[in-house]
Amino acid sequence: MKAYVFPGQGAQFVGMGKDLYESNETARELFEKANEILGFRITDLMFDGTEDDLKQTKVTQPAVFLHSVILARTLGDDFRPDMTAGHSLGEFSALVAARALSFEEGLKLVSARAHAMQKACEAEPSTMAAVLALPDEKVEEICSAVEGVVAPANYNCPGQVVISGAVEAVDAACVRMKEAGAKRALRLKVGGAFHSPLMQPAQEELAEAIAEAKFNTPVCPVYQNVDGKPHTDPEEIKANLIKQLTAPVRWTQDVLAMVADGADEFIELGPGNVLQGLVKKINGNVAVSGRQ
């Protein structure tokens, strides 16, 4: 069974999607439609901008989303997923690919999400850090013991957890992680504390946009980040999307659940190849590939 997976923020690169735009008429039409919806030419920034241009959350998130979903659309009949999932932002791509959301609705929600998160990031100094080679339970225990806001944000694969929160709390947690035997506990170059309680204002803003959007029953199960389980009910999908901003991304659990449900081939659609590496670390027996 085929599982199509979609990357999140951080996978972007200058030139992303340019080959698609130049070689495929369907892709070109969708990219131009996106320029109209967003009110600026995001294609100029994706194809010929700078790394700094692409690092802006309001640009990064729509850019990664567009690359992923337009790529899926260009595959036509070859795109036949038995299940989909996405990492953080990638969950929106997975939902559009599974037809739970239209291209237009998906892009509007991603843009709303990006602006809301940007505002939340600017409200309070915050950050994220990668912790390597500690059991999940130990990471959770240390985060709970540290004063201030810090919590697990991404369960990427066994031995790789990202924590998120206020700068001082994250730094304090990193010191304790190393003392507990972590191979590494390093701050990431990100705009703020994604998937932590500090995203609460963004969650409230996004909830309004999600409430107004039209969701359909997807053509295949979508495995969502908040619980690592398959969902097809539009109301459940909406509720989980809202929770996702302040809850951890349970990517390890997503992949394990897909494998348990029969997935033996994982195909990453979108920029980069991060998810391919994570899937291999979670289960080395499945076939893994990607398309950009």
Write out the catalytic residue numbers. 88, 195
The 2-6 sheet, strands edge to edge: 229-231, 222-224, 83-86, 2-6, 265-269, 287-291
Nearest to 67 by CA among 39, 105, 96: 96
List C-alpha distances in Å: 200 to 149, 165, 245, 291.
Answer: 12, 12, 8, 34
Q: Which two tokens stand for residue 11?
A: 């996978």
DSSP E strands: which ranges in the chain? 2-6, 83-86, 126-132, 150-157, 160-166, 184-187, 222-224, 229-231, 265-269, 287-291
Can you tell me the distance from the alpha carbon of 17 to that of 12, in angstroms, rounded to the nearest whole number? 10
Q: Which residues pair with 138 in a beta bridge?
A: none
> Which letter does DSSP use for residue 60 in this model?
H
Q: Residue holding tokens 């690359």?
A: 67
Q: Residue holding tokens 């959007």?
A: 213
- Residue 119 identity: K
Q: Residue holding tokens 């030139």?
A: 15
Can you tell me the distance from the alpha carbon of 286 to that of 268, in angstroms, rounded to the nearest whole number? 13
